[in-house]
């Protein structure tokens, strides 16, 4: 404890020296440059304490955006607002349910973007800037909020959201600034030179103490997650850990947001070229049965799907244009915890 206080104190004092000695970019310039690569995302939610907004990071000049996997993305209309105020409809490319990251794409080119590389981890004591649209303070072309802090620890995440354990249990950067705010998930954490260090995670509490955690997913994990999403293997994690229950989004199905007690399980959208798309599922299908057992709500669908063991067939019965249609999605992919 004392150690970390002194480390932080040292870092604050050392800040101007590093600027002078290494010719590091001034924080104002770093903030301005990084902010251009952060996206304000608006999607589903806005009721029952669920925010309808979060942040994202541009990771390629042609419009790929990494963000946190959350209910905000449970929508056909994911609005991505760039730093210059331009607004694009985002398309969900895929998700990595274990790391809880999602990859979106927008139809734009020549965008300022972070370099997504599996670089070395930064060390405890590294000074960082955190950029996100916390509390949705910024609208249109207004710049996202910038906070400063220090990487206070690099530790495995042990956290929960409500009663549910967070699926990711790998290392995270614990930050000494309050980044655990509505709108922050998906925001960027950069070092003093503006290099991407990590992504602000979802709002989680520590399993140990119940306190809200201020943390970021390291950039190498994001890079690996995105690779897996692009390769279509995000849902097939290496064997070894406990089994992860299946998330429909892992096979390409986005259901309507779960907003009321018994939300009818309509399919909001189907990710193009996903397993679900190949199985013939379409937007606006109403799921009435999973594996032949009837399901009456969106929550029930998720529950039933979650019980399907890896390798077992995933069969969905849907109503389309007044008729029942059977969709055989194929065997459930393996999803495992990181060993």
Partner 1 sequence: MIPTRLFLRRGIPAWRRIVAALVVMAGSGATARAFDVDPVVLEAEQSRIEAIRRASTAAVSIFAGDAGGGSGVLLTPDGYAATNFHVVQPAGAAMTCGLADGRLYDAVLVGIDPTGDLALVKLLGRDDFPCAELTNSDLVEVGDFCFAAGNPFLLATDLKPSISAGIVSGVHRYQFPAGTILEYTDCLQVDAAINPGNSGGGLFDATGRLIGVNGRASFEKRGRVNVGAGYAISSNQVRNFLGCLRAGRICDHATLGATVATSAEGRVVVSDILESSDAWRRGLRYDDEIIALAGRPVRTVNAFKNVLGTLPAGWQVPLVYRRGGRRTEVLVRLAGIHAPAQLATIVAGGAAEEEPRPGADAARPELPVAIRSVYDARPGFANHHFNVVERDRVAAAMVAVRDATALGPWVLSGRLATGDEFRIELSDTAASIDLPTGTSTLTVDDALDRNPVPPGSGGMLAALVLWRQLVTAGPAAVGRTTYWGTAPRDPSALGDAAIVDFVDVLESATSGVEARFAVDGGRVVSIDLWTSPDAEPCEVRLVWDEGGEGNPSATPARLEVRRGGQEFGTFVIEPSAPRGKAL
DSSP string for 126-173 = -EEEEEE-GGG---TTPPPEEEEEEEEEEEE--EEETTEEPS--SEEE
Stretch that binds partner 1, among 54-62, 124-132, 164-172, 245-253 (CB under 8 A): 124-132
Three-class SS of residue 9? helix
14 is a site residue for partner 1 (CB under 8 A): yes
Write down the least CB distance from residue 14 to partner 1, Å. Answer: 6
Write down the least CB distance from residue 233 to partner 1, Å. Answer: 34
Write down the least CB distance from residue 183 to partner 1, Å. Answer: 10
Three-class SS of residue 64? strand
Site map 147..166 versus partner 1, x via CB under 8 A: xx------------------
Site map 168..197 versus partner 1, x via CB under 8 A: ---------xxxxxx---------------
DSSP string for 85-141 = S-EEEEEEEEEETTTTEEEEE-S--S--------PPPPPTT-EEEEEE-GGG---TT
DSSP string for 250-317 = GGTEEEPP--STT---BEEEE-TTSHHHHTT--TT-EEEEETTEE--SHHHHHHHHHTPPTTSEEEEE
Write down the least CB distance from residue 166 to partner 1, Å. Answer: 18
Instruction: Give the number of residues in contact with partner 1, rule: CB under 8 A.
Output: 51
Q: How far is CA 68 from CA 41, 63, 202, in A?
A: 10, 16, 7
Write down the least CB distance from residue 53 to partner 1, Å. Answer: 14
Q: Of 1, 3, 163, 208, which lies in the binding site for partner 1, with binding defined by CB under 8 A?
A: 3
In the complex with partner 1, the residue whose CB is nearer, 10 or 239, is: 10
**C-alpha 324, offset from chain centre:** 34
Write down the least CB distance from residue 5 to partner 1, Å. Answer: 6
Stretch that binds partner 1, among 14-22, 39-47, 63-71, 163-171 (CB under 8 A): 14-22
Between CA 188 and CA 108 the distance in angstroms is 20
The residues facing 130 across adjacent strands are: 147, 189
DSSP string for 234-250 = TT-PPBTBPBPPP-GGG
324 is a site residue for partner 1 (CB under 8 A): no
108 is a site residue for partner 1 (CB under 8 A): no
Lookup: tokens for 257: 């947001």
Stretch that binds partner 1, among 21-29, 90-98, 159-167, 237-245 (CB under 8 A): 21-29
300 is a site residue for partner 1 (CB under 8 A): no
Binding interface with partner 1 (CB under 8 A): 3, 5-7, 9-18, 20-22, 26-32, 35, 85, 123-125, 129, 134-135, 137-148, 177-182, 212
């Amino acid at each position: 404890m004392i150690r970390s206080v002194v480390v932080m104190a040292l870092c604050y004092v050392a800040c101007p020296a590093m600027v002078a000695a290494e010719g590091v970019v001034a924080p104002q310039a770093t903030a301005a440059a990084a902010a251009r690569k952060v996206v304000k995302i608006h999607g589903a939610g806005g009721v029952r304490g669920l925010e309808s907004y979060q942040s994202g990071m541009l990771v390629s000049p042609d419009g790929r955006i990494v963000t946190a996997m959350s209910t905000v993305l449970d929508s056909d209309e994911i609005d991505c607002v760039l730093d210059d105020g331009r607004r694009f409809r985002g398309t969900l490319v895929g998700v990595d349910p274990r790391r809880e990251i999602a990859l979106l794409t927008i139809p734009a080119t020549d965008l300022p973007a972070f370099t997504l590389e599996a670089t070395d981890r930064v060390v405890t004591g590294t000074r960082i800037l955190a950029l996100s649209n916390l509390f949705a303070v910024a609208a249109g072309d207004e710049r996202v909020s910038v906070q400063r802090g220090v990487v206070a620890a690099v530790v495995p995440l042990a956290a929960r959201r409500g009663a549910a354990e967070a699926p990711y249990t790998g290392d995270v950067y614990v930050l000494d600034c309050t980044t655990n705010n509505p709108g922050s998930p998906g925001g960027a954490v950069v070092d003093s030179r503006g290099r991407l260090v990590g992504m602000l995670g979802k709002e989680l509490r520590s399993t140990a103490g119940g306190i809200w955690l201020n943390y970021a997913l390291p950039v190498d994990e994001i890079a690996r997650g995105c690779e897996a999403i692009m390769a279509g293997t995000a849902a097939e994690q290496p064997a070894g850990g406990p089994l992860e229950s299946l998330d429909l989004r892992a096979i390409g199905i986005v259901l309507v947001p779960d907003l009321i007690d018994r939300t009818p399980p309509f399919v909001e959208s189907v990710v193009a070229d996903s397993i679900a798309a190949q199985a013939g599922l379409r937007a606006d299908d109403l799921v009435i049965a999973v594996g032949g057992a009837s399901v009456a709500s969106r929550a029930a669908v998720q529950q039933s799907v979650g019980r399907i063991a890896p390798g077992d067939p995933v069969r969905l019965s849907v109503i389309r244009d007044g008729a029942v249609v059977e969709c055989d999605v194929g065997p459930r992919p393996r999803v495992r915890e990181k060993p």
